[in-house]
Amino acid sequence: MSERANLLDFTLPRLTQWLAALGEKPFRARQVFRWIHQRGVDDFDAMTDLAKSLREKLGRTAEVRAPAVLSEHRSADGTVKWLFDVGIGNGIETVFIPEEDRGTLCVSSQVGCALACGFCSTGRQGFNRDLWEATRRGLRVTNVVMMGMGEPLNNFAPVVDAMSIMLDDHAYGLSRRRVTLSTSGVVPQIRKLKEALPVALAVSLHAPNDAIRSRIMPINDAYPIASLLAACRDYLEAAPRDFITFEYVMLEGVNDAPEHARELAKLLASLPSKVNLIPFNPFPDSGFERSSAERVRRFQKVLMDAGFVATVRKTRGDDIDAACGQLAGQVVNRMKARPIRLHSPSPRS
Ligand code: SAH
Ligand code: SF4
């Protein structure tokens, strides 16, 4: 293991502090930060506007080291999925979704996930420097969604640091509206995020009542719907958008009936919200099935008739297992040369 400081982990305030200890002024930190994040440079010798003595000092004590790319897959629809190496046998996945008017990077916040939602194949922790990698590869990232593997609010400090680098004008300069964090509903952490760094919020609701939600999402026992919606309402005071996005995965025969849509409309009636319906992406032994397009359309219509903005998420990259809920950090153990599934929660139906 290297003893050097990896500058990719540093927010600008942290880098400023770190360079101050070496006797350097704050504007040096901004210069180094821009070299790294805006120009994708990892070699201190190439940072030509720094004094030679500083370049040498950096060369001895620091490094810019992204995780190795274990694999790269390209979907027929242009979606790209990378598997990054984050340490012994662990991989995290990042997906780039190109669209006409934007490029969205879907970022994982943990290796797997401990929350074990029944319909999700992501099964536990780590963090990433994937925005840097994507930008260096010339991909135009205009939006970031923390919707990959893992529960971002359960990896709070690193996620907040990573998002603050995304937002920093000396790095990627994304606006808080263009960075969306998706959570399964860790209520106390939603309140913490409001204080620390309120970005656009998406909440995985997936059910119109506690009975159904607890059946498919164990976290609902700890933070039932009423407490979740109260936290959402409170979050809106600081949010960069004036609504919360509620994600709703459509599971055949579980939560996809018109009466569920009516119950959902009633539940969200007084909360500024948008609903994003997600067709379930199957994976082996999930125990769930995708709702038919017709059922999804009927559900959407009930919501729209009730005055909601309700969209259906397009499935992208499913031919390379890059669609929502299909990221499982599959790593090839080079010793045994066989794929390892990190964790697949057992179906809870
Ligand atoms: N842990 C966070 C963010 C990652 S999941 C969360 O749960 O919100 C991103 C979104 O994909 C969530 O809304 C999640 O419920 C959804 N998802 C998980 N598995 C899925 C699947 N198999 N098919 C479709 N969407 C899925
Ligand atoms: Fe974790 Fe989100 Fe998957 Fe649930 S849906 S297991 S919270 S990543």
Residue-wise pLDDT for 277-294, tens only, equals 999 988 888 899 999 999
For residue 225, give the 3-state DSSP assignment. helix
Task: Determine the pLDDT at residue 335.
Answer: 31
Q: Which of 106, 117, 120, 324 is catalytic?
A: 324
Q: What's the pTM value of the predicted model, to 2 decimals?
A: 0.89
Strand partners, 202: 182, 245
- For the CA of 113, the closest atom of ligand 2 is 1
For residue 126, the tally of other CB atoms under 10 A from its CB is: 21
Measured in whole angstroms, how far is the alpha carbon of residue 202 from the centre of its chain?
Answer: 10
The protein residue whose alpha carbon is closest to atom 4 in ligand 2 is 117
Site to substitute for ligand 2 among 184, 203, 213, 228, most atoms within 8 A of C-beta: 184
Give me ligand 1 centre to Cα 133, in Å: 24
324 is catalytic: yes
Question: Taking the CA of residue 326 as centre, how many other CA atoms within 13 Å lie in the half-sphere pointing to its CB?
Answer: 19
pLDDT tens digits, one per residue of 123-144: 433 344 667 777 777 778 899 9
Measured distance CA(146)–CA(144) in Å, rounded: 7
pLDDT tens digits, one per residue of 51-105: 999 999 999 999 998 888 888 999 999 999 988 887 766 778 889 999 989 999 9
For residue 349, give the 3-state DSSP assignment. coil
Task: Determine the pLDDT at residue 88.
Answer: 62
- For the CA of 150, the closest atom of ligand 2 is 8
Site to substitute for ligand 2 among 95, 108, 151, most atoms within 8 A of C-beta: 151
Task: Determine the pLDDT at residue 333.
Answer: 35
Give me ligand 1 centre to Cα 323, in Å: 9
